[in-house]
Structures are given as C-alpha cells and as structure tokens.
Structure 1
Amino acid sequence: MTDHTPETGGSHQPLSDAAAAYPELDSVLSSLGAFYLYRRTAHNNLTHRRRLQFHALPLSQQSVLSAPPINYPEILSRLDDAIEHNAEISEAIFRHSIEAFGIDPEILKGKEWLNLVTADDLDKVRSTIKQFYRDWSAEGAKEREACNAPVTKELEERFGALSAEDKAKISVLVPGAGLGRLAYDIAVAGYSSQGNENSFHQLMASNYILNCTSSAKQHTLYPFASSFSNHRSRDNHLRGFAIPDVHPASGLSVAAEENRFSMAAGDFVAAYNNPEAAGQFDVVSTVFFIDTAVNIFSYLETIWNTLVDGGIWINCGPLLWHWENREADLKLASEEAQGLELTVDEVLEVAKAVGFRIEKRERGGKAEYIGSGNDSMLSWIYESEFWVAVKIPKEKK
C-alpha cells in the first residue's frame, strides 16, 4: 500500500529478482543508507537540537519546564529511548537488506556511499517506520479493516466455497503492496498472492518483517515519536506498539510450501503491461494505489492486461493524486506524459473504455490513515470508494 501522507532472501523469496528489476545501485545504496543513518539523524534532529534550544531559554523558563508535571528534560530522555527502539528496527532492515539485494559488503566498508542519501530518503524511512504501525500492529487493525476487509470479503463471497485445493488456484495480484500485509492476509486465507512494490524503502522493510522476524511482538515501535505536533498528551506522543502482531513466517508456512506467496519488485506498469504478464491473474486488488498513477490509463490498461478473461478488479481507496502540481518530480520520475486528475466517476468511465464492466460500486466508508491515537489533534480520514469490475475480452467489448 503506497504511502498517502516489496525478490530478497528468506524462506519466501519475495525479492529474488530485485537485482534485475533494480539495476540502479546508487538508488539501492541511498535507501540502505537512510536506514543506516536513522539513529544518528533522529537523535540529532529530535533531541539534540531541542536540548540546545532548552538550554538557550531564560533560567526562569527552564525552571518551569523542568519541574513536574512537564519534566521536559525527562521527555527528551524518553524520546531518546524511543529513537533507540526504532533504530533497532531500522538497522535490522539495513543488515538483512544487504544480502537480500545482493550488495557486495566491500562497497559498504567506506562511507562514501552514505553521501548518496537524500533528505527524501530519510523522510521515507520515517514514513516506513510509521507504516509498520498501520500494517503490522494490533492497534493498526482498525485502519487495515477499513480498507483491506472489503477486498477480503469480496474474495470470500466469490471464492470462499471452493475447496482448499481450488481456492489455492485463485491468483491475486496486489500492486502497491507496501509492507505486504494485504498480500500476506490473502495468502493466509488460502489464495495465491503476489505483491508488487516499487519503493526500495518499502521493499526492504517488507522483506524484513515477512522473512526475518523471529516471533510476534519482537519489536517495540514508536511511530509517532518523530513529530511534536498535535499531541494532547506526551504519553500519546511516546506510546510504544508491539510489532509484528503475528509471526509472518508461521502464518505463511503452508503458503510457502505450496509456493502461493511472493513479492515482486519493480514498477507496476513496466513489470505487468507486457505479453508475458497477460492473463496471469484471476484478481487484481488495488488498495490506496490507483491515485499514484502518472497517467490513469496506463494503470487501468495494465490491470486489464494481467487479468484472465472475466477476471475481477477490486479497488478500495481515495483519489489523492500523487503527481498533482509536482511537475519537476514528474520529469524525473517518468518519461510518460502526465495524465489528468480525474474524479471517481471519470475514472470509472475510463475503466469502461479500457475494457471493464463495473459490477459493483459503493462508498468504501471512512478510512483513517496512520492516526496517532485518541489524544491526537490531527487525523487523516478518507471517504474511500469501493468497486468491483470485470474484464471484458476485447472481442466482446
């Protein structure tokens, strides 16, 4: 699931084609470096700077902030502890990604490669750490339920009565798989599932959580530690959450034995809008994804291409067009001509023109995106749209 504010090692081989899909070594190294640098940059930006600011205040103000119930110096110490917990996760991702992406350790002996890390890379690591809360904590289940449950419910309504053997033959593609939770849940439910993700940061993190964690609740995550804004209480700001809520490898043991789960690296259109991918899937499930398109036609044509005749496309999510008003980024990101930002009605008209029959459409309900608890003063809540469309063979359009 692409952020709206991941084949590597391991038993499930989710990124074994990563080197082929991503030959740009510099991009891989800059993503690796951002995870490596998380501890240093977080301490510097969050606590070191605030300690300097605190000690620059007049003594009378320091006295107020130092006394109960505020205890500001203690708050910064608690924040340091939270950063250490997040850094444990970030550095575990870094270590396991070296082998998963086939990086020669000799390259990492010097520090020159760290110069490749950009502010955007560091921001994506912070965002990925927050997304662990949404995808892999028990407390994030409410958010997952709002957008993933309509998909799994639709699958069960259509295929739930099948025998386990026949259900395993239903292949589901999940583009924009993010940290892999929806693709995981679909495989655990008995289907064949493939997630596709283009972001190195997400691929590295999903590989770690899916393949390299040894138990449920292995880590304590502090997803909201990186921002001081919009908290009613400090306990809410510095609240820890256990991840993963389940042990992925245990959940995937049967799917792995039956070769029913994979994560594929690469750009969605480049990877699937080709003759080799034509008709390979019974279902394509897009959740919080289609609004990442540069041109919506290319996404819908790719979805149509990957489906078998009569295959279904299940969508749930908003239309936060990611490339709106980002011309400079667009030129760097794609040579494809920019499409227009359409309404839901218009997207569905395009879907009909591409070759889909809209079978079901309804409001998807309110979907919160990485909320920070009951004491937060800010929430991103989307009124998502849910629809099911059926691929019409070209000769029957």
Structure 2
Amino acid sequence: MTPFPAYVPPDFTRPDLAAAPPVRVAEAPGSGVLPAGFHATSNYPEYVHLGGGRWLLASGSRMDAVLVLDGDMLRVVEPRLVRRGDRVVVGRTENGEEGIYVHTTGFDAPAGAGGDKFTFRSRGTRESPFSRSYEELYDILRHDRDHGHIVWVLGPAVAFDRDSRAAMAGLIGGGYCHALLAGNALATHDLEAALFHTGLGQDIYTQALVAGGHYHHLDVINEVLRHGSLERAIAELGIRDGIIRACLEHRVPVVLAGSIRDDGPLPDVITDSRQAQDAMRAHARRATTVIALATQLHAIAVGNMTPSYRVLDDGTVRPVYFYIVDMSEFGADKLANRGSGQARAILTNVQDFMVNLWNNLKG
C-alpha cells in the first residue's frame, strides 16, 4: 500500500473549463529569450488545453520555468535553456481563461474532512509535536527506498556529530539515499571527522576544542587537492567511515555546489553556478522525497527546483514530499514564501533527527 494520497484531477467538464480556448504559443525569438507574455510555471500540476477538450499535464512542473509545446508533448524548461524557435506557452491566467489551468488541490483531503473552519495550532511551529510527522516519514522512506528517488540536501552540521554522521552513512548503505546535494563544507567536514575526529576543530563526540583544530579543515582541503579527487583521497588515505565514503561505496551520486564563501574548494566542487544548477536539477526532477537538513540557502534552492508532484510511468500522479529539518522556523518560512508551500518542517536538532530516523529504519 502506498503511503501517499490519491490524486484527484480537475473536472474538465465544469462549464468554465469546458469553454476554455486552446492554449496559445509563440516562438522564442532567440536562445534564452522568451516571447512576450510567456507563462511562468509554479510547482503545482499544470495543464494546457490542446482543443476539443484535450488537456495535457506537464510531467513535473517547477518554479519559474516555462512550458514548451512539441506536438502533443509538453516540456518544462528553464528560460536559459529555451532555444530559438521553441513554441513557448503564453498566457498569464491560471484558471482556464487562456487554456492554462494550475491545479492546486489535487492531493487535498475531501471536502468536509477538516472539521471546524476556525482552529488553533493550524500551522507547524516549535511548539508542535512531530511524532506523527516522523511516522509518516518512516512509511514514505520505506516505500521510496524501492519505488522512488530520495534526495538529501545536507548542511555540514550533520557531520559535526559522531552519531548523526554514522546514521547518515547507515541510511546511505541501507538504500535510503539515491542522491546527495550539498556544498563544499559538508564534504570537507565529513573528511575532517574521518581524519581528525573533529568538526571545525571540535571533537565530534565530546565537543571539546582540540589544540590547532582550526587548521584541520584547511589541512583536509589541501590533502584532497594533493590527491586530485575525493575518491582518490579516500582510497589512498585509507578512510573507512563517513558520509562521502558511503556514497562512493554504494555509488550514490553526490553533487557539491560551490559558494563564494568556500575555502579551497575541494576538487569535486562545481564552481560554475549554471553547471551546479543543472546537476542539482537532474535529481530534483526525479525526486519523490527530499529531506533538507540545516542548510537554509541550499534548501531554498532545491525547493525552487523541485515539483510538488511526479507523473509515474503508469500515469499515476503522486506527491513529491519535501521535508526541511532545522532548529529554526526561518528556513521553512522562506521556502513557503518562495512558493514551496508543500514543504513540511520538523523543527529539531538535526543530530537528534538523524539518530532517531536511523534507529527506526535500520534492520
């Protein structure tokens, strides 16, 4: 049994939708240049009317892309990837007036199931209990381990604690990670933990400061640069534990996107922002569950890339789950403000979250 709700498509026999005109398209005047009046997508299911009552669903709409119509195929394309002559959907309305329909309620509970119109505590905050959220997440991850694409977005805090670092490596080994998206810091401090048992110079178990420890992450970067790659460094230095090693061992793709703040960076970090975006989008488009831990900017970036739904090979439409785990409500609020309203927040210490998750999924 799947852990996600059934999708209810729009009723295209409704008078307003039955009367909708065919969608209009206009050719892109140049590569990376859009026609006037182009339609910018959301991350909700989006349909276009081809005429005669035929509505076509975009296979995975995401924020701030455009729709390109190729015959009966509808592609979702980032504006910079549009090519001269592409037939771009135009129209700025979303309720069928111009043959475009954005469907925001496909996974909602049936009408009347919500109870009172006014309630207290309708939004998740630091006061919310998350027991049910954990139970739902366990079910989703068990399902998606074999039938989905689980993407983790990690901040370096995951590697700052011995137990959370071991838990993440265990989840990777257990098949609960199909791609890892992070920055230079996560890989650097994961290897720092392996070589020095510290994170930014602090013991990853006792949290005691180590003399000269503030050099450790710089020594790690220098050592990896000397070996030429993370893979060679891990093999030649005899590293036997950690997150990056687990990804390499289990052939889980790792995308490390560069930042202006990076030391080094490591040789595997993608410093061209467009190349990094393309590499991240390849996994965001496939994702069925995303879990972002203690990395607000990376979480917001991936949230903008990720659809709220996927159309499976058999035509089933399922939700894409997006969890943000942080001590602060700020990240979840920013995701919602940037359009990723489906993001679910679990407000807790990420180290405790990781250990709790692994203790319930291992075995």
TM-score range, shorter chain: under 0.3
TM-score, structure 1 as length reference: 0.21
Greater fraction of residues in helix: 1
TM-score, structure 2 as length reference: 0.23
